[in-house]
Amino acid sequence: MDPAVQQDIRGPLPEGLGQAIRETAGDIATLLHGVPDTRVPVPDSEWTVGEAAAHLALANELMADLVSGRERPYGDGTPQSLAAANAEALAVFGERRAEPLAAMIVEQADVFLDAVDRAATDATADPALITPLGPMDRAVLASYLLTHMLGHGYDLARALTRSHMIDRDRVGLCMPFMLSVMPHVADAAATAGLTACYSIRLRGGPAFGVTVTDGAVDVTPGPPDRSDCTILIEPVTFLLIALGRRNPWRAIARGRVVAWGRKPWLAPRFPTLFTAP
């Protein structure tokens, strides 16, 4: 049996999540393999390939420390504080070569999964972990790690004009994190005064509900009994829009997003309610 699959069975992670983390780290390492000049700019970003890869390596190390129960202060969860923490970390970490960074990305993903495996058999391990985006259990933090790697892996693939590694199955494994974090990344100005119930359906995948009540956001697994607006969206498109990597208007124009219900005009407003984590 594949060791990653075996780990998913005996550990606290959803089936396939450990394997997806390992495979995604490997996919990113493959992208970086043989890149002679990491000063190539990342599209729609202030970072170069080297800086994005260095950020991934440092973030995987941070996640490995967090899942091991080590406290690592890293901003206060706001986009501004996370950007400042990222800049500070990159300023003191000088490595920008592709091969060492690829090796670190893979190594720290393995360290993360080894720590999850140990915690699964440790009755004294604290199930609540403090992360830059609030308390999470290990399964949600693992979903966070996968989501983070996929977002920046997509950026690296674009910069290097290669195929990205996001697919329907990996998006499904990102959903525990996405559902957990949505209330924390709601834009207070955008949600103020709005009362609406959305049903979000990933084409061929899960559905969930988002209720906004004058600034308060509640997310529930499964579709609500009654919604104002139902949005059907292709899974990869959903993740890329949620991570700020794809323009929602272009996705709508290409038929990757459709909406209906009592108030279908609420659909274009939905992505504006959140700040990309």
CATH code of 248's domain: 3.30.1050.10
pTM recorded for the entire structure: 0.92
Per-residue model confidence (pLDDT) at position 121 = 83
* 266 and 147 in a common domain: no
pLDDT in tens, 122-175: 777 778 888 989 899 999 999 999 999 999 999 999 999 999 999 999 999 999
Decide if 192 contacts 165 (C-beta within 8 A). Answer: no
Lowest mean pLDDT among 29-38, 91-100, 177-186, 249-258: 249-258
Instruction: Give me the amino acid identity at 90.
Output: L
Measuring CA to CA, which residue among 140, 142, 78, 47 is closest to residue 275?
78
Cα-Cα-Cα-Cα torsion 161, 163, 165, 166, nearest 10 degrees, comes to 100
The answer to whether position 250 is within a domain reads: yes
Residue 126 is part of which domain span? 3-176
Same domain, 9 and 135: yes
- 92 and 200 both lie in a single domain: no
Burial classification of residue 10, based on how many CB atoms lie within 10 Å of its CB (0-12 exposed, 13-18 middle, 19 or more buried): exposed
Task: Identify whether the C-beta of residue 199 lies closer than 8 Å to the C-beta of residue 234.
Answer: no
Q: Report the number of distinct structural domains present in the chain.
A: 2
The rounded radius of gyration (Å) of the Cα atoms in the chain is 19
Mean pLDDT value of segment 258-273: 94
Tell whether 170 and 190 lie within a shared domain: no
In a domain, 181, yes or no: no
Helices (H), the chain: 3-10, 17-32, 49-67, 79-92, 98-120, 138-159, 168-181, 188-191, 235-242, 248-253
pLDDT at 6 over 70: no
In this structure, is residue 83 part of a structural domain?
A: yes
In a domain, 45, yes or no: yes
Q: What percent of the chain is modeled with pLDDT above 70? A: 96
Give yes or no: residues 140 and 201 share one domain.
Answer: no
Q: In which band, very low, low, confident or very high, does the pLDDT at 9 lie, cut at 50, 70 and 90?
A: very low
- Please identify, among 113, 143, 176, the residue that sits at the C-terminal boundary of a domain: 176
Is the pLDDT at 10 greater than 60? The verdict is no
pLDDT of residue 5: 38
CB 56 within 8 A of CB 152: yes
- Domain of residue 99, CATH code: 1.20.120.450
Residue 63 lies in a domain: yes
Per-residue pLDDT reduced to its tens digit, 65-81: 999 988 888 888 888 89
Tens of pLDDT, residue by residue over 15-70, are 999 999 999 999 999 999 999 999 999 999 999 999 999 999 999 999 999 999 88
Tokens 């400042």, residue located: 84
pLDDT reported for residue 11: 53
- What tens digit of pLDDT does each residue of 266-276 get? 999 999 999 98
Residues 58 and 112 in one domain: yes
Q: Is 258 helix (H, G, I), strand (E, B) or coil?
A: strand
What is the number of other CB atoms lying within 10 angstroms of the CB of residue 5?
A: 12
Q: Which of 121, 149, 176 is the last residue of a domain?
A: 176
Q: What's the whole-number average pLDDT of the chain? A: 92
Q: From 176, 211, 234, give the residue that closes a domain.
A: 176
Instruction: Of 61, 85, 64, give the one whose Cα is nearest residue 73.
Output: 85
Residues 105 and 160 in one domain: yes
Which residues, listed in sequence order, are joined to residue 201 by a DSSP beta bridge?
Answer: 207, 232
- Does position 210 have pLDDT exceeding 80, yes or no? yes
Give the burial class of 126: count Cβ atoms within 10 A of its Cβ; 0-12 exposed, 13-18 middle, 19 or more buried: exposed
